[in-house]
Amino acid sequence: MKEKIRLKLSGKILTFPPASVSILAVFFIFIFVFSQGLPLFSKISPFNFFFNSTWRPTATPPSFGIVPLFLGSLLVTSLALLISVPLGLLGAIYIAEIANPKIKEQIKLTVEVLSGIPSVVYGFFGLRVLVPLVQKTFGLPTGETALTGGIVLSIMILPTILSLSEEAISSVPVEYKEASLAIGATKWRTIRSVTIPAAASGITAAIILGLGRAFGETIAVMMVTGGAPIIPTSIFSPVRTMTQTIAAEMGEAVFGSTHYNALFALGIVLFTVNLILNLLAIRLIKKKKW
Amino acid sequence: MAVLLVVMTSAILLSRTPTTTSTARSIKVKGSTTVLPIAQAAAEAWMEAHPRDSIIVEGGGSGVGIAALIDGTCDIANSSRTLKEEEKQKGLISHEIALDAVCVVVHQSNPVGELTLEQVRRIFKGEITNWSEVGGPNLEIVVYTRESTSGTYETFESKVMARENITLRALTKSSNGEMVQAISGNPNGIGYVGIGYLAQARGVKALKINGVTPTPETVRNGTYPISRFLYMITKGQPEGLAKDFIDFVRSPEGQKIVEEQGFVRLP
């Protein structure tokens, strides 16, 4: 009896520290980013950050307007979703409902491999193959555009959306399908009107997680979107994302300077967006009411 | 069992010899991608002659190197720009190691062969937007510039732009190498690189500025308008391996390496 209690307790003592380390890590990163970014608002007004459309951090006088950067991130992410959600969803339906087991295994394996490719490799592929292709195909002055970034990102988040959606669809109770087929609905009708709606919250969670990943991607977009901090007027416009701005400029921002604070403020925005998206996704997966 | 563990551990710990003896030295050199080829070639030459010394060279841009030097995370900062007042006040000292020309480059198929400094400024400001306005084909001009971490960017800003802003529509590249790659792939493009990158570059050509071609001679005699010194910067006076390395780069043997890399030796 004493032995049992001792084992139970030592089990808890052994597992609690590793588990809390990850929570503490997120907590400390949160504190760090906010502590380095918030001082910005004592140096420039929040209006001048959130609603200013000029990002020129090294000019005299400098300007730290986030608008073009936020819109850049938004546009590239939206394009990525536009491409990968239909593809991912249809792929998930195919894997879960239609494919025979052998093909299913192959596709799943391939998707796993795709998700393991480092982002810089995607970026390199985008730079050397997609950029000239986009430039030629659409007759643009340059192939470094939001569209190119969207295409690269869509390939990167496809595995996430596809595998999570597939899981959601697979976990719809088989009784639903059986009931639908029993009352005479065709297989496709069943998928459309019964299975997908039943898996809706899981699929939405998959999309939100894919969105989160796309929003936070840095190196791949950095290499193909051109990096021009302008408000995009079309999908063929070069853009600059918030993530790429931090990566490109952090190296020379002097510790404690306004530029330094501004870059961390970008980090605060990214952190907040990611936090909201993840909370949404978790709630949906647990099928809680909003 | 526990005793054995303790004995083994202490044996391992005590048997470690110090990793840096008084004859093995190491330094970290970081910064300008313009100076990078020179620093790398010189470091390799030095380490071949002095196998116990280790010199690690990194890029990142002049701004990155100087920031790292101030923070104490590197020993020498490579820079293709002069020090700012705040940087000098932190005790940074710059040492000239070579001469360089910032060349305005276009795709090799571009019929335009020369521009005035004024035209270059107006193109980079975004006022001239089509190649036909400067004697070229009817193509939209795509301006490429460097990130603010770049010393080449700072030099271009002060010597060509006269501190006026480069258009926000300019595409940003993070190194000289990337710039060459971008221009060689885009017939519409215009950008700028250190002269050392022209030698190995394929697909780009340098424009004559105000009628002067960038060459070692025109840099030395000052007729090429966008010339500058390249520097290695230290915090305080250099000592030890840092001092030896900088002296080496400035020596005749080091200057030969400078020229081999496509740059211009010190006058």
Contact between residue A171 and residue A200 where contact means Cβ atoms under 8 Å apart:
no
H/E segment holding residue A36: helix A2-37
Contact A252 B64 (CB under 8 A): yes
Confidence category of residue A10, pLDDT binned at 50, 70, 90: confident
- A65 touches B: beta carbon within 8 Å: no
Q: Which residues of B touch A55 (CB under 8 A)?
A: 168
Q: Is B148 on the interface with A (CB under 8 A)?
A: yes
Give me the pLDDT at residue B16, please.
54
Compute the radius of gyration of chain A from its Cα atoms. Answer: 23
Read off the pLDDT band of A290 (50, 70, 90): very low
Closest chain A residue to B153, measured at CA? A58
Nearest to A251 among B60, B140, B173 (CB): B60
Q: Is the pLDDT of residue A283 over 90?
A: no
Kindly state whether A238 is in contact with chain B, defined as any CB-CB distance less than 8 angstroms: yes
- Out of B142, B171, B185, name the one closest to residue A227 (CB): B171
- Put simply, whether B61 touches A (Cβ < 8 Å) is yes
pLDDT digits (tens, 9 = 90+) for B102-129: 999 999 999 999 999 999 999 999 999 9
Contacts with B233 (C-beta within 8 Å, 6 or more apart), sequence order: B31, B65, B66, B69, B76, B77, B78, B79, B83, B92, B93, B94, B95
Q: Exposure of A152 by Cβ count < 10 A (0-12 exposed, 13-18 middle, 19+ buried)?
A: buried
Contact assessment for residue A109 and residue A177, using Cβ atoms and an 8 Å cutoff? no
Contacts of B170 in chain A (CB under 8 A): 228
A262 neighbourhood in chain B, CB within 8 Å: none
Q: Does A247 touch chain B (CB under 8 A)?
A: no
Write out chain A residues lying below 8 Å of B67, CB-based: 251-255
Gap from A234 CA to chain B (nearest CA, Å): 14
**pLDDT per residue over B56-76, tens digit each?**
999 999 999 999 999 899 999
CB of B29 closer than 8 Å to CB of B57:
yes
HEC string for A96-132: HHHCCHHHHHHHHHHHHHHHHCCHHHHHHHHHHHHHH
Residue A179, H or E segment: helix A174-182
* pLDDT of A240 over the 70 cut: yes
B163 and A58 in contact by Cβ < 8 A?
no
Mind listing the pLDDT tens digit for each residue in B169-203?
Answer: 999 999 999 999 999 999 999 999 999 898 778 89
Q: Rounded distance, CA A142 to CA A138, Å?
A: 10
Model pLDDT, residue B24: 83
Label each residue of B33-96 as H, E or C. CCCHHHHHHHHHHHHHHCCCCEEEEEEECHHHHHHHHHHCCCCEEEECCCCCHHHHHCCEEEEE
- Output the pLDDT for position B127: 96
Please report which confidence band the pLDDT of residue A288 belongs to, taking 50, 70 and 90 as the band edges.
very low
Q: What is the DSSP letter of A146?
A: H
d(Cα B62, Cα B58) in Å, to the nearest integer? 11
The pLDDT assigned to A14 comes to 82
Confidence of residue A289 (pLDDT cuts 50, 70, 90): very low
Q: Cβ separation of A54 and B163 shorter than 8 Å?
A: no
pLDDT of residue B135: 93
Own/partner contacts of B238-241, CB < 8 Å, gap of 24 or more, are B238/B76, B238/B93, B238/B95, B240/B25, B240/B27, B241/B25, B241/B26, B241/B27, B241/B53, B241/B55, B241/B75
Residue among B224, B217, B203, B108 nearest B155 (CA): B224
- Model confidence at A187, in pLDDT bands (50, 70, 90)? confident
- State mean pLDDT over A176-182: 90
pLDDT digits (tens, 9 = 90+) for B19-55: 445 578 999 999 999 999 999 999 999 999 999 999 9
Section A262-285 average pLDDT: 89
Cβ-defined contact of A230 to B186 (cutoff 8 Å) = no
Of A56, A57, A228, the CB nearest to B169: A228
Distance of CA A110 to the CA centre of its chain: 20
Residue B14's pLDDT is: 61
CA pair distance B229, B220, nearest whole angstrom: 11
| Interface predicted TM-score (ipTM) | 0.85
Domain ranges of chain A: 2-42, 69-286
Q: What is the pLDDT of residue A243?
A: 97
Residues present in chain B in total: 267
Cα of A145 to nearest chain B Cα, Å: 10
φ/ψ of A74, rounded to 5, equals -60, -45
Q: Mark yes or no for CB contact A228/B71 under 8 Å.
A: no
Nearest to B257 by CA among B11, B31, B56, B48: B48
**pLDDT tens figures, B206-237:** 999 999 999 989 998 889 999 999 999 999 99
Q: Please give the CATH superfamily to which domain A69-286 belongs.
A: MetI-like (1.10.3720.10)
Report the distance separating Cα A242 and Cα A66, nearest Å.
Answer: 8
Determine contact: B85 vs chain A, CB below 8 A.
no
Nearest to B67 among A59, A228, A251 (CB): A251
The C-alpha angle A131, A136, A141, rounded to 5 degrees, equals 75
Residue A115 burial (10 A CB sphere; 0-12, 13-18, 19+):
middle
Mean pLDDT taken over chain B:
91
pTM of the model: 0.85
Closest to B73 measured CA to CA, from B21, B24, B29, B42 = B29
Give the 3-state secondary structure of residue B157. Answer: helix
- Cβ separation of A253 and B67 shorter than 8 Å? yes
Give residue for tokens 């923070």.
B71
Q: Which residues of B touch A251 (CB under 8 A)?
A: 60-61, 63-64, 67, 149
Measured between CA atoms, the residue of chain B closest to residue A131 is: B185
Extract the tokens encoding A72: 């850049």
B48 touches chain A (CB under 8 A): no
- The answer to whether the Cβ–Cβ distance between B60 and A131 falls below 8 Å is no
- Whether B174 and chain A come into contact, CB under 8 Å, resolves to yes
Q: pLDDT tier at A142 (50, 70, 90 boundaries)?
A: very high
